[in-house]
Structure formats: structure tokens, C-alpha cells
Structure 1
Amino acid sequence: MPVEGTWDLSVSTPIGKIKAVVELRREEGVLSGVVHGAGEEVPLGDVTLNGDRLTWKQAVTKPMRLNLAFAVTVTGDVLSGTSRAGRLPASEVTGRRRAIPAAAEP
């Protein structure tokens, strides 16, 4: 199943759960995306899908400036894995793909 779509993420950090929305798309065969959260919109870097394993990198400035590396496993409309910021302990990541709204009937 493709990973393209909009995903609602929850990252369990030492300072509490952080919610984010990740939008993944494929253009000319290249997987890319953007994340929205904490008042920021940040492009994803190094987005890679290998089987059911999805990885990407992103930089954030809120609640503090960090470079994050995500590694998750995608199973249908659910994902789970970890996010890591340098030497800090890994944080648990869970997510669910948003349903595509049905087309409105004329």
C-alpha cells in the first residue's frame, strides 16, 4: 500500500506528547513531504520508503531547535516507530492516515 497521504502523528517526548500532521506525496517517482505542528511548517528531508519502513529527517525550532530523524513501520493506515534527536533518547511515534473524503455527489 502506498504511503502517500495525510498522517496524524503523536510523538511521546520527555516533555509530553507532541501532535503533528505529515503530508506525504510522490512527484515524478520521488517521495517528499511536509510536516505541520507547533505553529511551524517544515519540509521533510531524505524521505525513503524501503518495503514497509519509512524514514525521514526534519528540523524543528519549537519547543526547541532540534534535528530529528524518524524511522517508522507502516502497516496499512497505521504507523509506529521512533524519532531521535541526536544523542537524546528515542521518542515513540504513532500515527494514523486520514481518510480521504468521499467526493461530493452533484
Structure 2
Amino acid sequence: MSVDGNWKITMSTPMGDRDATLALTSAGGTLTGSQSAEGNSAEIFEGTVNGNDVAWKVDITSPMPLTLAFTGKVDGDAIAGEMGVGFMGSFPFKGNRA
């Protein structure tokens, strides 16, 4: 199943659940797009696709400057995986095609 399209995801964080939207496009093994949350939007980088496995990073500034590193799997119209938050560890995320 293609990862291309728009997604709504929920990230479980130490500060509670945070919602975000993704606009993703794959070309070969490369994943590009943007991620938006709480009025802020950023381009994803270092995005990869390998079958149903996806990975990408995004820099955020709120609530503090961080690089989030996502790894997950696409299963039909669902996506789920882990979000690495540097020194704070990893937290789950899940979502559906918008």
C-alpha cells in the first residue's frame, strides 16, 4: 500500500496526546512532504520508504526545539510506529489516512 497522501496522526508524549497532519509523497525509496501541528508546519527530511516501512525526521520549535525521528509501518489506511525524541526516548504514534 502506498504511503502517498494526507494523514492524521496522534503522538503519545509525556505532555499528553498531540495531533498532527502529514502530507507525504514517495518516489522510489525516498519520502518527502510536510508535517503540521498546532499551527506550525515543517518539511520532513531523511525520509525513506521500503515496502510498508516508512521513516522520516522533522524539526519542531514548540514546545521546544527538537528533531523528531519517526519509524513506522503503513497498513492499508492506517499508520503506526515510534517517534524518537532524542534524550527523552521514544513514544508511540498512530494515525489514519485523512
In structure 2, give the amino acid aligned to 1:31: L
Q: Using the alignment, how far apart are the partners of 2:66 and 2:10 within structure 1?
A: 17
| Structure showing greater Rg | 1
Q: Which runs of 5+ in 1 are unaligned?
A: 99-106
Report Cα offsets for 1:75-99 as digits up to 9, x if no partner: 011011110111212111001001x
- Considering fraction of residues, name the structure with more strand: 2
Q: Percent identity?
A: 34
Please report the TM-score for the alignment, with normalisation by the length of structure 2. 0.92
* RMSD, matched Cα: 1.2
Paired residues in the alignment total: 97
Please report the TM-score for the alignment, with normalisation by the length of structure 1. 0.86
Q: Which runs of 5+ in 2 are unaligned?
A: none
**Hey, which bits of structure 1, 4+ residues long, moved more than 6 A?**
none
In structure 2, give the amino acid aligned to 1:20: A
Report Cα offsets for 1:8-67 as digits up to 9, x if no partner: 00000000010000001246x553100111211100001101121100001000111111
**1:90 aligned partner:** 90
